[in-house]
Amino acid sequence: MNELKVFSIRKNIHEDNKMVADETRAALREKKAYMINVMSSPGSGKTTTLVATIKALKDEMNIGVIEADVDSDVDARTVQNAGAKAVQMHTGGLCHIDATMARAGVDEIGIEDLDLLFLENIGNLICPVGYDTGAMRNIAILSVPEGDDKPLKYPMIFAKVDALLISKIDTMPYFDFDLSVLETRVRELNPDIRIFPISSKTGEGIKEWTTWVKQQMKGEN
């Protein structure tokens, strides 16, 4: 097993976030790497979804994951075992990743051999959405057990992301979750959003989601 890099970062330099984000995107494009910022609340299934995504795409492209957590390296090791290049970012208690921190992750993982890079942001539906990380696309994951009322409580994240993955749909028989109501609420905030109901356990919806990812990488709508 390859040795896993773990590094710590503290936000102590106040740089212009947009400037750094734009520089990161330019660096990614130069190396022909595509970064997607993944946001959700804790326990929504970010890492499990990434594992399913990696397994579906790893034969077609080289994938990397920057895992951002307050502590531990469990998630980074999980995605590494699934077949992705991974680094673990320790944030020291910060509730979001900004452009400077994301760029540190990009530099640490190295993008010369990567086609697709995921930034698994801190589990939080409020703070992360306010910061441009330099990613080309931003997505959110909402799990069925969290309920279909989350867009009413945390509208900003649903209004700003390019795609929403509704995870753990295999558990819908056990929860009071109305998919059509959820979609209506989300589209009222963001008419152009793409919505993908998925189950990492059964594989349902993974092909549709990964097809969208490949389309974005090719510059398609």
Q: What is the pLDDT of residues 87-125, one digit of tens each?
A: 998 877 778 899 999 999 999 999 999 999 999 999 889
Structure token digits, residue 189 = 């905030």
How confident is the model at residue 23, as a pLDDT?
96
Give the pLDDT band of residue 12 (cuts 50, 70, 90): very low
Give the pLDDT band of residue 9 (cuts 50, 70, 90): low
C-alpha distance from residue 159 to each of 82, 85, 154, 175 (Å): 31, 31, 9, 25
How confident is the model at residue 70, as a pLDDT?
62
* Contact indicator for 66, 85 with CB cutoff of 8 Å: no
Give the pLDDT band of residue 221 (cuts 50, 70, 90): low
pLDDT of residue 28 exceeding 50: yes
pLDDT of residue 14 exceeding 50: no
For 16-217, CATH number?
3.40.50.300
Phi, psi (rounded to 5 degrees) for 109: -75, -35
Residue 89 backbone zone (phi > 0: left; psi -120 to 50: alpha; other: beta): beta
pTM for the model stands at 0.91
Please say whether the dihedral angle defined by the alpha carbons of residues 209, 212, 216 and 218, taken in this order, is positive or negative.
positive
Cβ neighbourhood burial of 174 (10 Å; 0-12, 13-18, 19+): exposed
